[in-house]
Structures are given as C-alpha cells and as structure tokens.
Structure 1
Amino acid sequence: MSSWRLEKTLLGLLLAVCGAGALAQASASSQRYTGLGRPATPAEVQAWDIDVRADFKGLPKGSGSVAKGQDVWEAKCASCHGVFGESNEVFAPLVGGTTAEDIRTGRVANLRRSDFPGRTTLMKLSQVSTLWDYINRAMPWNAPKSLSVEEVYAVTAYLLHLGEVLPADFVLSDANIAQVQQRLPNRNGMSTAHALWPGKEFGGAPAPDVRAAACMQDCPVEPRVASMLPDFARDAHGNLADQNRNVGPQRGARTAGPKVQAAAAGAPPVPGQAGAPATATAIATATAADAPGKPSDAARARSLAQSNSCTACHAPDKRLVGPSWNEIATRHAGQIDYLSGKIRAGGSGVWGGIPMPPQSLSEADARVLAGWLATGAR
C-alpha cells in the first residue's frame, strides 16, 4: 500500500474513533443530567407574579389610611424623598406642579409649559395602579418588597394626599381605588398615538413601525451634540448648576466661570469668556488647587469621590442619603485606617439604617479618600 493511502486510512480510523468518543460522551452527559430541575410550584409562581395591571387585575385585597401612610413614610421613605415628597439633591421630586384644575380635567397644564422647571411624578402619572405596583415591588430601595399590603396602600394614599388628590381622613382600598383613579391629575394625559399596543382597546390604532429597512447607502452623518449657547454666553447668568430650582433637585448645566474653565482646558483664563463647560474632575482639581495643605491629594480625593459616585449620597455641608463630608471629617478626624476600611467594606448603623454598599476602590485610592476626610475634607 502506498504511503498516501496508508495515511488516508489512518486518518479515517482516527476520525471514526473521535466521533464514537464524542457520541459516547454526549450519551453519558444526557444520562447524567436527566431529571434536572422541576416545574415551579403555584406558590413560587405567585411570589413572582405580583404585577398590578391598569384594570387592577392582580391588586391584592386590603386597605391603608393616609394617617398610617404618614407614619410609614416618615420611617422608611422621607430620608430619600423628603417629608413632603419634595425630595433632595439626589432623587427627583414626587409632588408638585399639579393644581385642582388638573384634578378636574385629568390633564396637567404645566406639562405643556416649556418654561416649567421640572417634571414631578404626580405630574406624569396616568395610572394609580403603576404607583401602587412600583411601591410594592421596589420600595424602600434598601429593602424592596418588605412593605406589607396595608403599608403599600397607606403610602400610596399618603403620597396622593400630598398631591391634594385625597383628603387627610381617606382610607385607600381595593374597593375604592378605581374611583381614586378618576382623580389623578394626569389620568387623561397618556397618549396611544405611538401604536405600541395596537388593538381595539386603543381605538384601532395603526400597527407600529417595526419593519423599517436599514440604511445601506447615503446614510446621514453621525450627529454631534452641542450646546445651543455660544461659548461666550454660557456663563452670562452664573453657574446654572449652583442655582436653585423651585421644584426638587433639577440640576442645570455646569457653566463655571473663566478660572475653572481655563484650568480644565490647560490655558490661561480669557477675561469675559467662559469657554466650554468644565468636567467634574477639572473643577475638583481647580478647586482643590486653591486650598491650603496638599492640593494634589485633595484634588485626587475629590476626583475619586466624583468618579465613584460618592457624591450621589454625600454633599460637602449637608446630609443627602448619607452624612456630609464635614460630619464625617468632624467625627473621624485623624482616623485614616478606620475610614479606609469603612469605604471598602461598606456597612450600616453608624449614621442610620440606610446601608452604604462596599466600594470597589483599590486600597491606595481608599486611603487617599480617607486621608482627605480625616484631615478636614478640604
């Protein structure tokens, strides 16, 4: 037999052996994993099937008063959403912007105003079932699904009372929630023109456009997002990010003055010209550079606080979700090791019941932050 025929025969035998081995392995695997898993029990399905539809299907029987809701709110909700639903510098406001006329018509007039400073939850809410469902499944944020049925009814009633939808002595229940729906300020504000759910229930809306052809030639160029204001006009009315908004924590664009803008760009300031908006890191660097002590360490610490979202829960001089930088610096002056460990490990109970999750910083970065806090949080 020639050599090439011998090689061909051997290769065929090798492939046959490998194929048989693979079949045997597949057969063994299928036998090994037979009977894996089981159907979910009705109780397990029910534990997850908790959504409440707009027609209130799925809503559990129960009730809760506005008075009870106030107690629950102040204990479990006010730390993030404010005593009166006005919120704080982190979360959007829940109440505000609606009127008695809106309750009568079911359309919130301020939603049509381009000059209104913000959109609260009660301005946009069109279904009370959505409010009940979200509170039930997601609140409070550090212990979702921990509220009882009575507490969910009560908190929903209290929130609607804050928006002057319900009186102070009202008891919300599964028996009267449909009547409460007829008092929502924006109950008639939901549009069905998008045709995402075509059908008779939406008046025979046309089918949604889900068959658009992809552009394959002469496609538009990639859009570039830019400010509508020219650079020289950005700072005409001061730094918008530092100005108050009369409805909750609506933040404006950061239009810092020429000194910080120039520091961000690495160029000397131009008198009378603001330039492009500075980044958070650049602003932190410029601010820290003016401080006594070690400006480079302070700048790095402030940059770390920004990039790791520490500023979502902590502010320089007042409490948000957690204590202020000043409070931490006062209580734990000089305690670099303690603060560094706390930053990386997280915890709760020191400043209240709301936990701080562990931060995924390196030990070196955590010590930079800890050192900045322990020396006064300049």
Structure 2
Amino acid sequence: MSRSRSWCVGSAAALAVMAFSAGAAHAEVKVADRYAGLGRAATPAEIKAWDIDVRPDFKGLPKGQGSVRQGEVVWEGKCASCHGSFGESSEIFTPIAGGTTAADIKTGRVDSLLPGANQPQRTALMKMATLSTLWDYINRAMPWNMPKSLSTDEVYAVTAYILNLGSIVPAEFTLSDANIREVQERLPNRKGTTTAHAMWPGPEFGGTVKPDVQGSACMRDCRKEVVVKSFLPDYARNAHGQLADQMRLVGSTRGADTSRPAPEAFVPNKPAALSVKAQAAPEKVASAAPSSNAAGAATAAVMPLLQKNACVGCHAMDGKLVGPSFKDVASKYKGRADAVNYLAGKIKSGGQGVWGSMPMPPQTLSDAEAAQLAQWLARDVAP
C-alpha cells in the first residue's frame, strides 16, 4: 500500500473516532439536559457515612477503645433485654457466649463443633472466625431498636464485654484498634474457616483464583432428568380455598385448580409405581382401594365444615400444627365406646391440658355439626 493511501485510511479512521466521540458527548449532554436538576454528586461526608464496613484484615476499623467494665454498663442498658446479662439470650435469640474452652482458645478450633459433641446449641463465639465480624455487626446493626446509635468507643466496649463472657480477655481488659489484632489470635474458632477458595476477592486474604468446585458437564450415558412435583392429598385439596386464584400471574408457577378433583391414579415422580405395586400384590391393592376411597369421601364431606369453623388453621391431617393432627386424635380415642359423644362435647366446650398447654377455645357450631365432626374423627379418620 502506498504512503498516500495509508495516510487516507488512517485519516478516515481518525475522523470516524472523532465523529463517534462527538456523538457520544452530544448524547451525554442531551441526557444531562433531560434530567437537569435531578440529583447531585454525593459529598465526601455522605460517602464516609456509608463506608463503615470493617474487613477481616481490619481495614476500615476506626480508632477508639473501650473496656470490659464500660461494656458491661452499655450491655445492661441496651443489650441485655434481648441477649441476657451473660449472653445466654432469650427463647427468641440464640446464645452469644458458651460452648468454648481454654483448649479451644489455644488451638483455634472449637471441639464442640465436631460431630458427636455434647453441645445442645451453637453460640456466636463458637462459630465466629474473625473478630471484625463481631465488631462490624454491632456497629451497623445494634441495638435492635436503634441501629448505628452506639459510639465507636461503645462498640469497642461491648465487643470487649462479649469477649470477656467467653473468657477470651480478662475483666480488666481494654479493647482498642491498637490491640484488636492480638485479640484476633485468641478467638476459639479462628482456624475454623479457610480462604483457600475463589470466593474471596483475591490473594490479599490468602485466597486463590482457582475455583473451590471442579466439575465437568456430562456428555454421554447421562442419567435421565428427575422431575420433582408436589401434589395435594384429597383431604387438603381445598383446605385454603381456590389456589389458582391466589397465585400471581407472573412466572411459571401456577396454583392448583382446587375446584376440580385431582387427576386419577396420580403417583408423584414415578407414574408406573402403582402398576408395579399392583403386580406384586394385586389382592392387597384391590382390597385396600375401597376403604381408602370411603375414607377420602368421608373427609371430603366434612371438609367444608372444617373450613367454615377454621379447624384446619390449627389442625392438620398428619402432622402437628398448633394442635394435634386429626389422625392423632382419632388414634387416641380409637375403640372408646363413648368417643363420639366425648369428642362432640370437647369440640363444643374447648379445653386445655390433654394435648399440651395450648388451649382450644369453645367452638360456636351446632350440636349436629359437632356430632358430625366427632363421628368423622371416631370412625372415618385412619389412625
């Protein structure tokens, strides 16, 4: 190619780039004009207010200090109502301290986390591998009703108090940004995690770019796809109204049309299972079908009554909800001569103590309705 032609080609390319740049700049100006007056650039102070996270290497940790004694005062005033005076917590929150030993602090691995350990519940200090996690969570999320209301020194103090509850630091200890790395080396479970996977952002935490999971796609003799489907048993098919009308019309999930009967002979996942069972013991399958169909018909007959009086809100057919299952009730009073009269009276009057401390309130239904439900429980519900 001649020099003049090379110059022409190069000039054309340069002109094209200049034209594209000018067009992009023009488009940017038009967008700015379109949204003129909306928003502004965040100030350094606003960015700083959001940039509060503390990394495992303690980058982002602010300067400050707080003693165990100071932390105890803050704890009793703002933390103990949820977490208990000694980190034992209430029935809602899991314990913070407990389950660790001096040997764990020495080794960096908590023996109570090993299989077969006689530890009823895992605490926060048992599982925590990085002290930055504790400091950061207290700083951004606590106390529950006023998150981010603690001062930096109060966060250090509360963290120190928790560490003292776990015998990680003594009662006279003062935690600060200067010694927090030394305390990190005393966490009971500091060696209970690994960074040897690609989930960390890079090698600065000891990670690696190699994925932690290796796999290859199946290309031949692959197993057939397993399709898992759910289904509704007859007794629960319309327990909560028309499901098809309760689902969003977005996406692939659709509620079952409970106004129609379920498909006949439906067996989840393996349609041939019923025929195989019938071939193995045809006489048993044939004899079991009439009684099963009769029980299903009886349940379908009382289901509107169960729904009308909200019985299914507290009782399920097989498993315990608020109260015992219908099958458990039927099994308890199976064979009792006065079962129908007894159950009808209990349904009407309510009670407490037979199935636990949760009371069943009296039900406002007629004597005939109570007798119908009691007869269904005593005679038709399979135990």
**TM-score, length-scaled by structure 2:** 0.52
State how many pairs are aligned.
227
1:289 to 345, 350, 356: 350
Residue correspondence of structure 1 range 57-76 to structure 2 within 5 A: 57-76=59-78
What is the RMSD computed on CA atoms of the aligned residues? 3.7
The letter of the residue matching 2:144 is: W
Q: Is residue 165 of structure 1 aligned with residue 168 of structure 2?
A: yes
Residue correspondence of structure 1 range 333-352 to structure 2 within 5 A: none
Q: Is residue 139 of structure 1 aligned with residue 128 of structure 2?
A: no
Q: Residues 289, 167 of structure 1: CA spacing in aligned structure 2 closer, same or farther, 3 A cutoff?
A: same
Structure 2 alignment gaps of length 5 or more: 1-28, 231-317, 335-345, 353-358, 365-383
Other structure's SS at 2:331 match:
coil
Residue correspondence of structure 1 range 123-272 to structure 2 within 5 A: 123-197=126-200, 199-200=202-203, 201-202=205-206, 204=208, 206-209=210-213, 218-222=224-228, 260-263=323-326, 265=327, 268-270=330-332
Cα deviation for residue 211 of structure 1 reads 8.8
Structure 1 alignment gaps of length 5 or more: 1-26, 225-254, 273-284, 298-378
Cα deviation for residue 196 of structure 1 reads 1.6
The letter of the residue matching 1:138 is: A
Q: Is the 8 Å Cα contact of residues 261 and 269 (structure 1) preserved in structure 2?
A: no
For residues 139 and 207 of structure 1, the distance between their equivalents in structure 2, rounded to whole angstroms, comes to 35
Q: Hey, what does 1:277 align to over in structure 2?
A: none
CA deviations over 1:130-179 (Å, ceiling 9, x no partner):
10000000000110000001110000000000000010000000011011
Q: Residues 203, 197 of structure 1: CA spacing in aligned structure 2 closer, same or farther, 3 A cutoff?
A: closer
Cα deviation for residue 125 of structure 1 reads 0.5
Q: Residues 101, 29 of structure 1: CA spacing in aligned structure 2 closer, same or farther, 3 A cutoff?
A: closer
For residues 141 and 100 of structure 1, the distance between their equivalents in structure 2, rounded to whole angstroms, comes to 31
Other structure's SS at 1:290 match:
coil
Other structure's SS at 1:39 match:
coil
Other structure's SS at 1:219 match:
coil
For residues 84 and 223 of structure 1, the distance between their equivalents in structure 2, rounded to whole angstroms, comes to 47
1:101 to 100, 103, 117: 103
Q: Is the 8 Å Cα contact of residues 98 and 126 (structure 2) preserved in structure 1?
A: yes
For residues 179 and 71 of structure 1, the distance between their equivalents in structure 2, rounded to whole angstroms, comes to 24
Q: Is the 8 Å Cα contact of residues 198 and 206 (structure 1) preserved in structure 2?
A: no
For residues 218 and 40 of structure 2, the distance between their equivalents in structure 1, rounded to whole angstroms, comes to 43
Cα deviation for residue 191 of structure 1 reads 2.4
For residues 293 and 122 of structure 1, the distance between their equivalents in structure 2, rounded to whole angstroms, comes to 41
Q: Residues 208, 161 of structure 1: CA spacing in aligned structure 2 closer, same or farther, 3 A cutoff?
A: same
Tell me which moved more, 206-215 or 95-104: 206-215
Higher relative contact order (CA 8 A, sep 6+): 1
Give the percent of matched residue pairs that are identical in Structure 1 and Structure 2. Answer: 55
Q: Hey, what does 2:123 align to over in structure 1?
A: 120
Cα deviation for residue 217 of structure 1 reads 7.7
Q: Residues 39, 87 of structure 1: CA spacing in aligned structure 2 closer, same or farther, 3 A cutoff?
A: same
Q: Is the 8 Å Cα contact of residues 66 and 171 (structure 1) preserved in structure 2?
A: yes
**TM-score, length-scaled by structure 1:** 0.53
Q: Residues 148, 112 of structure 1: CA spacing in aligned structure 2 closer, same or farther, 3 A cutoff?
A: same
Q: Is the 8 Å Cα contact of residues 196 and 208 (structure 2) preserved in structure 1?
A: no
The letter of the residue matching 2:330 is: P
Cα deviation for residue 261 of structure 1 reads 3.2
Q: Residues 66, 30 of structure 1: CA spacing in aligned structure 2 closer, same or farther, 3 A cutoff?
A: closer
Q: Is the 8 Å Cα contact of residues 198 and 207 (structure 1) preserved in structure 2?
A: no
Q: Is the 8 Å Cα contact of residues 64 and 150 (structure 1) preserved in structure 2?
A: yes
CA deviations over 1:83-138 (Å, ceiling 9, x no partner):
00000100011011000000011110111133422110000001111100000000
Q: Residues 83, 261 of structure 1: CA spacing in aligned structure 2 closer, same or farther, 3 A cutoff?
A: same
